Amino acid sequence: MARRSRVILIGERINAGFKDIGRAIREKDPGPIKKWAKLQAEAGASYLDVNIGAVSKDPRDMAWLVKTVQEAVPTPISVDSTQPEVLRAGLAAGDGRPMLINSTTADDEKLARVIPLAVEFGAALLGLAMDERGSPRDVRGRVENGAKIFAAAIEAGLSPDRVFLDPILMPIRFMQDQSPRVLEAIREFSLLSDPPPHISVGLSNICSQAKERSLLARTFLVMAMAMGLDAAICNVLDEELRAAVAAAELVLNREIYSDDFLKASRLKGKGAGEGTGRAG
Amino acid sequence: MDVPDVRKRWPHRINTVTIGARREAGGTRTSTVTVGGQTTLPFYGFEGELPHPPVVALEVWDIPPVDWPEPAKEPFADVLDDPGRWAQKCVEYGAPLVCLRLKGCDPLIADRTPDEAAHIAQRVRESVGVPLIIWGCGKEDKDNEVFPVVAEALSGENCLLATFTEKNYKTFTALGTAYGHKLVAESPVDINIAKQINILALDAGFPLENIVIFPSTGALGYGIEYVYSIMERTRLAGLQGDKALAMPILCDIASQAWAVKEAKAGVDEVPEWGDPRARGPMWEAVTAYVYLMAGADILVMRHPQAARAVQDMVRKLMAPWPGGPA
């Protein structure tokens, strides 16, 4: 596998789905947001995902959230919403640092509204391999949707390293047959172009309502890395997860071994803005 | 016909390291040397930035050389017993950097004391204005005794202290921090150890930006291709963003090239090899050329003729070419 870039960890914690963040957004209290921004940045997040979720539909809340994170850390931001106008507000609040749009789907209408945002703001784009009919349950549907998003993004002038594809991970607790298919879809995505697009998952999906969540998450992540995955929206504060990634990077010969390879992996996590960098 | 554009853009830059401190920076040097800062492979000027060309350091010993063949001694024949005048001669020969080797501290050679070593280092400092590399005897226990005294004597001069290993990194990092010197990290032709010692130094509080890597050196014909591939991998890793390997690289051409029979043998030993006065410097220069291609930033050399040939080669390789980028 030709991929050389390191795994891009996207911190999931600034999401209104968490009670403290939901409350902070409602009350415009920057405290918890800045706290989680710093904790995740220090843990080596390449991007911080920000999501106003169900708490608000107001684009101004997304703008506030982006600005609040920017005041705390220099880390690139992943603006997370299903609503194009909310995405736009988040991107427009950016201070020039790299941004990731999270997300579009393969739905024509959605592509037509979200891809121009990536062009306008020079942002990277994450595409979920689903469409107006929902999430495919097979490999083929995932690959068709992924390829459609990728083609539309390239057509609009985005380079492959500005495109992230997400094959959609399902909870192992409820849909155990899906995880091998997701792994296979990742392999297919990695063959879409050379260099390939980034391939990402919402890692915590797999352990939804399951026991041993951290173990399931890191096991899936290293298996997915072997298939070509190089990004994940996840709990970046999970030290075991980060250690497993560091070890997997050695196994894949992407990182040069040293006895203190865990320390070495923390060293490289410090670089902000490396999210979309890649040789070639 | 369209020629495909094969240029790459590397995501990272090799660290920039400056050796020597002028008066305003707390030292007494009249010049400084800066290496590193590349954003591409050696001499790929068409692809990225090469802000600082590789440099040559000429070596000076603290004792008259014990195992040099005549052709290596000739250019310094009248100064071999005086490190100060020897250093001046190096500068006259065009060296921007002088490497003082504390060979005499080796317990098996002259077992000089730390104070004697410091005295000689100061004599060299006072004799020349160029920045200095101070190279220990290589016996870790003795270096651990000698360097605290020498590093203090040269305090503020921003020397490059060579070399530390996994065994004595604590001593060296403490000295580098206390007295304002840069350090050379030595590894035995082993990229994993090269990375590990840098992490150890960082862990001890020493900035990676103040380290130069010495991956060990082999002479032409004696394992050079092995070192070459290690250096190449090191540089590639650095350019790809491995911060524990993104350092300038130093090569010890002098001690290796002149240790082999192809450079040393007298004309009476192997007549068909020709005049050793031409052959020795040529062996040293060609060894250095190979290391330039592998990514050397600092080359410690012995013979002024070889040093000049290498400096000429660097100038030619760094020059813009017709039709190339400005």
pLDDT in tens, B180-205: 999 999 999 999 999 999 999 999 99
Separation in Å, CA of A246 to nearest CA in chain B: 13
What average pLDDT does this structure show over A117-144?
96
B39 inside 8 A of chain A by CB: no
In chain B the first and final C-alpha atoms are separated, in Å, by 23
Interface test with A, best of B38, B198, B199, B232 (most A CBs within 10 A): B199
pLDDT value of residue A6: 79
pLDDT value of residue B66: 84
pLDDT value of residue A277: 35
pLDDT in tens, B279-311: 999 999 999 999 999 999 999 999 999 999 999
Q: Which of A5-14, A108-117, A269-278, B255-264 has the lowest average pLDDT? A: A269-278
pLDDT value of residue B37: 98
3-state secondary structure of A139: helix
B193 contact residues in A (CB cutoff 8 A): 258
Separation in Å, CA of B151 to nearest CA in chain A: 29
The overall pTM is greater than 0.90? no
Quick check: A277 and B191 CB within 8 A?
no
B197: nearest CA partner in chain A: A258
What average pLDDT does this structure show over B151-155?
98
What average pLDDT does this structure show over B72-99?
98
B199 contact residues in A (CB cutoff 8 A): 258, 260, 263-264, 267
Q: Helical H runs in A131-238?
A: 139-155, 178-190, 213-227
Residue A276 has pLDDT above 60, yes or no: no
Residue B92 tokens read as: 């006259």
Separation in Å, CA of B191 to nearest CA in chain A: 8
A280: nearest CA partner in chain B: B8
Could you give the C-alpha distances from B15 to A96, A187, B18, B44, in angstroms and in order?
25, 36, 10, 17
Nearest to A4 among B192, B199, B240 (CB): B240
Burial state string for B279-314 with b = 16 or more CB within 10 A and e = fewer than 16: bbbbbbbbbbbbbbebbbbbbbbbbbbbbbbbbebb
Cα–Cα dist B40/B239, whole Å: 7
B199 inside 8 A of chain A by CB: yes
pLDDT in tens, B158-182: 999 999 999 999 999 999 999 999 9
**Percent share of chain A, pLDDT over 90:** 89
B49 inside 8 A of chain A by CB: no
What average pLDDT does this structure show over B125-141?
97
Residue B315 has pLDDT above 50, yes or no: yes
Residue A274 has pLDDT above 50, yes or no: no
B241 inside 8 A of chain A by CB: yes
What average pLDDT does this structure show over B245-253?
98
Quick check: B195 and A258 CB within 8 A?
yes
Residue B32 has pLDDT above 50, yes or no: yes
Quick check: B244 and A258 CB within 8 A?
yes
The ipTM assigned to this model is 0.83
- Residue A14's DSSP bridge partners are A50
- Largest Cα–Cα distance of chain A, in whole Å? 51
**Please, which pLDDT band fits residue B6 given cuts at 50, 70 and 90?**
confident
B286 inside 8 A of chain A by CB: no
- Cβ-Cβ contacts under 8 Å between A and B: the total is 53
Chain A residue set in contact with B, beta carbons under 8 Å: 4, 6, 255-260, 263-264, 267-268, 271, 274, 277-280
Residue A271 has pLDDT above 80, yes or no: no
B3 inside 8 A of chain A by CB: no
B201 inside 8 A of chain A by CB: no
**Please, which pLDDT band fits residue B324 given cuts at 50, 70 and 90?**
low
pLDDT in tens, A132-188: 999 999 999 999 999 999 999 999 999 999 999 999 999 999 999 999 999 999 999
Amino acid at A132: E
B7 inside 8 A of chain A by CB: no
Quick check: B9 and A279 CB within 8 A?
yes
State the residue for tokens 């609009």: A156
Contact by Cβ (8 Å): B278, B72: no
B202 inside 8 A of chain A by CB: yes
Quick check: B245 and A280 CB within 8 A?
no
pLDDT value of residue A267: 78
Interface test with B, best of A46, A253, A256, A268 (most B CBs within 10 A): A256
Quick check: B202 and A267 CB within 8 A?
yes
Separation in Å, CA of A259 to nearest CA in chain B: 6
**Please, which pLDDT band fits residue B269 given cuts at 50, 70 and 90?**
very high
pLDDT value of residue A191: 96
Cα–Cα dist B233/A256, whole Å: 9
- Quote the DSSP letter at residue A212: S
**Please, which pLDDT band fits residue A4 given cuts at 50, 70 and 90?**
low
pLDDT value of residue A268: 61
Quick check: A257 and B195 CB within 8 A?
yes
pLDDT value of residue A59: 96
Nearest to B8 among A259, A277, A280 (CB): A280
Could you give the C-alpha distances from A276 to A5, A272, B221, B241, in angstroms and in order?
9, 10, 42, 12
Q: Beta strand B55-61 with B298-301: parallel, antiparallel or unpaired?
A: parallel
Cα–Cα dist A242/A253, whole Å: 17
Quick check: B241 and A277 CB within 8 A?
yes
Cα–Cα dist A77/B277, whole Å: 64
Report CA B117 to chain centroid distance, whole Å.
20
What average pLDDT does this structure show over B98-117?
97
What average pLDDT does this structure show over B57-75?
96
Residue A7 has pLDDT above 80, yes or no: yes
What average pLDDT does this structure show over A92-107?
97
B102 inside 8 A of chain A by CB: no
Interface test with A, best of B6, B191, B195, B230 (most A CBs within 10 A): B195
Quick check: B200 and A6 CB within 8 A?
no
Quick check: B10 and A279 CB within 8 A?
yes
A263: nearest CA partner in chain B: B199
Nearest to B199 among A255, A258, A277 (CB): A258
- Quote the DSSP letter at residue A197: P
